[in-house]
Amino acid sequence: MKEPTLSGLYAITPDALLREPARLLDAVTAAARGGARLIQYRDKHHFGAERLALARALLQTCRAAGARLIVNDDAELAQSIGADGVHLGAGDGSLADARARLGPRALIGASCGNSLERARQARAAGADYVAFGRFFASTTKPDAPPADLRTLTAARRELDLAICAIGGITADNATQVLAAGADLVAAVEGVFGAADVEAAARAYVSLWPGSDTRIP
């Protein structure tokens, strides 16, 4: 596993735009213009050829906009389109298998809920970042168990990889997770639910010193 230098806004595609691919691609472009350098394709609705076509279109859009595309829960799809990485939740496959499939340069993330032990295991399995949450009320996953800001602090102190916070995080409350130790802030509705997606992304990105969130 390479030593990652990941920080900044991590924008995750919303369910509401998945049925309108043209609008989704425009919104992703706007988010990237606003400073999101990491985009996650999260799709529980499309399968087969439709899913593959949309993933390819998103990858092309991200490449043109200077962002990287992470595929949610599907290392096979990530490999087939040449995506920049994959994010795996609990029960969504082996991190070690994903690394073997995608290679050493891929960005691999793992959902850890509020579990530092799960994060330790993810790091040992080759993850580049671990994601904790939810920290605030979430419209995307309203029933997700809450996470404690102290878990971020403990992870930051112990783990030498990027820490991502997710779950109801807005540009107004993001300072809390950043102060607790998060490097990355993941957002769905806070970015894509805004009337001006680019401006919403910029509001998040402005929270990082120097607003330099490019991923080398």
The confidence score (pLDDT) of residue 211 equals 61
Specify the pLDDT at position 200: 98
**Residue 7: active-site member:** no
3-state secondary structure of 30: helix
Strand, coil or helix: 22: helix
Domain boundaries, the chain: 8-211
Is 44 among the annotated ligand-binding positions? yes
Per annotation, catalytic residue among 2, 19, 23, 141: 141
Q: How far apart are CA 205 and CA 11, in angstroms?
A: 11
134 labeled part of a ligand binding site: no
pLDDT per residue over 160-197, tens digit each?
A: 999 999 999 999 999 999 999 999 999 999 999 999 99
Residue 141 marked ligand-binding = yes
Active site residue 111: yes
Euclidean distance between CA atoms 81 and 187, whole angstroms: 24
* Neighbouring residues of 9: CB distance < 8 A, sequence distance ≥ 6: 31, 34, 35, 36, 37, 38, 184, 185, 187, 191, 201, 204, 205, 213
**Any binding-site annotation on 170?**
no
- Point out the catalytic residue in the list 37, 42, 99, 123: 42
pLDDT in tens, 137-160: 888 778 888 999 999 999 999 999
Q: Is 42 annotated as a binding residue?
A: yes
Is 153 known to sit in a ligand binding site? no
List residues bridging with 8 in a β-sheet. 184
With a cut of 50, list the residues of the chain below it in pLDDT.
Answer: 1-4, 213-216
Which amino acid is residue 216, in one-letter code?
A: P
Identify the burial level of 166 via C-beta atoms within 10 angstroms of its C-beta, where 0-12 means exposed, 13-18 middle and 19 or more buried.
Answer: buried
Return the beta strands (E) in 15-128 as ranges: 38-41, 68-72, 85-88, 107-113
Q: Please give the model's pTM, rounded to 2 decimal places.
A: 0.93
Question: And the tokens for 169?
Answer: 């995080």
Q: Does domain 8-211 have CATH number 3.20.20.70?
A: yes
* Separation of alpha carbons 49 and 81, rounded Å: 12
Owner of token pair 């540009």: 171
The answer to the question of whether 148 is labelled as a binding residue is no
User: Could you tell me which of 192, 201, 191, 215 has the C-alpha nearest to residue 33?
Assistant: 201
User: Catalytic pick from 7, 68, 111, 134?
Assistant: 111
Catalytic, 42? Answer yes
